[in-house]
């Protein structure tokens, strides 16, 4: 897995979240997903798809 690409994807997701003022919602949901034993990479792809669809 390319960690550099993952880092930039994470930055993109964070920028989208901050622009949409839903950072608290993101923290709540990612916590719920982590409690369900989702991998962090799965969380990133999930949120990337979700925020991309909201645009």
Residues 1-55 pLDDT 10s:
577 888 888 878 877 776 666 666 777 777 666 666 555 666 677 777 887 887 5
- Predicted pLDDT at 46: 76
Q: How many domains does the chain have?
A: 1
Q: Contact 41/3 with Cβ under 8 angstroms?
A: no
Look up the domain containing 34 and give its range. 3-54
At 19, phi and psi to the nearest 5?
A: -65, -30
Indicate the pTM of the whole model: 0.32
């Amino acid at each position: 897995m390319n960690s550099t690409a993952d880092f930039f994807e994470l930055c993109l997701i964070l920028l989208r979240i901050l622009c949409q003022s839903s950072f608290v919602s993101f923290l709540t949901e990612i916590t719920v997903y982590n409690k369900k034993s989702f991998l962090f990479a799965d969380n990133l792809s999930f949120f990337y798809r979700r925020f991309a669809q909201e645009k």
